[in-house]
Chain A
């Protein structure tokens, strides 16, 4: 019986390690390729670890004439911070109204928010492009932020948390003369820190990896985010795989760091709300 259990344990480890290996191998190959010189990437037999490590690819991609990776990186950081904080604030505010303020039409409005989750993005994409173009907002980051302000998932999840806050607690503050705004910023938001953090995290990961909408909105190269630059690198340097892998690595590293720091919250978010990363 005992031997049986040990065998079972070993099988479990072998199996899960195999899956982990499958998951990591592509990343390993990316790192390895990015550190090779051009001849070495096509060397056979393959070099798992580069025989003569080279930073050629990294030097090259930061000096391309038509893709500015440094700028793309800065743009991506800027856009991602905007797309993390502003939708978070707007949905927290709406969620607070839905959770704690009585008003006519509340149910209808809330259901409307939830129903928008079911509208396929492909249908709204074209009218939204036209609207933003008419507003003169093409090639601006505002055009990325505005449609994100009504994050239904965010409103839904935060409302669930705000509802749990005891009414007496808030009423007492109002009796003491606090305005609704102060109530919101000094009592409600601090109480909801974990859910805010989780939502913010998912916002950030979504924003950093966002591709299709920026591709449509940002046509000027100087506005490009990292992902747009990377996609362009992929098509312009089709046979320079070491460049591509160096670019991919640069785009992945920041998000992996963010994930590693906060992975506890990622799992929490997934088990409560099924958030889309």
Chain B
């Protein structure tokens, strides 16, 4: 576009870009490098600067020797394995239902979306109460059908599935609307043609719906793996990593080391290990992409 005299343009350009670029540099670009440097230091912000020392790879070595590290990654993998299939299945189901036309659909959409707009803190408190071992409504209902429910969040075996349950409840509505948008893109003629050829509803789902929403599902999978590896808020408010460390995850470890023990160098090292794991997992998924994702030509 043609825009006025060049001097006026240069000044305006700086004005328009300054706030965003300032923030980009100071809070995104510089931190990548400073965090790398930090991971090689022993740094406690409460101590005088003279006590900062360069320790090389010691933070990383210490972390790899830390015996709970493996457990934390196992916990986060457990979370991912439970959460992702569940949330994708529930949102796919909801989206397929909402893709039909029926009265009061808008009202249903609102009801299904309410958990998404609620904060994790509020959701965690609600679910802690629902999952209460003695007076929780879930166990009371289970008791009515003769099942003695566990004390979910105080039970090493059940704490993580319980957190996943709350997370699926909270997030389904969000992914439903995204999948729904993808479903609406599908050309109705495909289904017409399939019906004429006598394809069953299941076959239509398997050979039309699923391939055509696969790019969206792939995107959701990638996003969810990245976010899932960094799961923290839900766990922090629901269990604080307990009981007996059964729901401890890497970000909880980063938070604890950085902001409770003020071991910021060590915490940065943990963060970089996690960052590397996330990058590898993401690359891996893009490798697998061509096996199951179908893009329309």
Contact = CB atoms under 8 A, between A and B. Distances in A.
Contacts of B102: 9, 12-13, 16
Contacts of A91: 20
A266 interface: yes
Given A149-B22, A216-B259, A251-B121, A123 B31 contact: yes
Contacts of A116: 24, 28-29
A34 B198 CA distance: 54
A181 B12 contact: yes
Query: For the side of the interface on A, what is the size category?
Result: 35 or more
A245 to B, nearest CB: 7
Interface in A84-106: 89-91, 93-94, 96-97, 100-103
Nearest first, the 4 closest Cβ-Cβ pairs linking A and B are: A271-B181, A209-B119, A127-B31, A149-B23
Nearest to B141: A46
A256 B10 CA distance: 44
Contacts of A113: 20, 24
A269 to B, nearest CB: 9
30 contacts: A23-B169, A27-B126, A89-B19, A93-B19, A94-B19, A101-B1, A101-B13, A113-B20, A116-B24, A119-B32, A126-B258, A126-B271, A130-B264, A146-B23, A149-B20, A150-B27, A170-B1, A174-B3, A179-B4, A209-B117, A212-B255, A230-B121, A230-B125, A245-B125, A251-B121, A252-B117, A252-B119, A256-B114, A271-B184, A274-B219
Contacts of B226: 120
Interface of B: 1-4, 8-9, 12-13, 15-17, 19-24, 26-32, 34-35, 38, 45, 93-94, 97-98, 100, 102, 108-122, 124-130, 132, 134-135, 137, 140, 169, 172-174, 177-178, 180-181, 184, 219, 226, 229-230, 232-233, 236-237, 250-251, 254-255, 258-259, 264, 267-268, 271-272, 274-275, 278
A271 B177 contact: yes
A19 B129 contact: no
Given A101-B3, A179-B8, A94 B21 contact: yes
A143 B281 CA distance: 32
A112 interface: yes
Nearest to A219: B259
Contacts of A251: 119, 121-122
A16 B28 contact: no
A171 to B, nearest CB: 6
Contacts of B4: 174, 179-180
Interface of A: 9, 12-13, 15-17, 19-20, 22-27, 29-30, 33, 41-42, 44, 46, 89-91, 93-94, 96-97, 100-103, 109, 112-113, 116, 119-131, 133, 146-151, 155, 167, 170-171, 174, 179-181, 184, 205, 208-209, 211-212, 216, 227, 230-231, 233-234, 241, 244-245, 247-248, 251-252, 255-256, 258-260, 263, 266-267, 270-271, 274, 277
Contacts of B12: 101, 179-181
Contacts of A102: 1, 3
Contacts of A119: 28, 32
A13 to B, nearest CB: 7
Nearest to A117: B28
B170 to A, nearest CB: 10
A119 B31 CA distance: 10
A93 B17 contact: yes
Contact of B121 (A124, A127, A211): A211
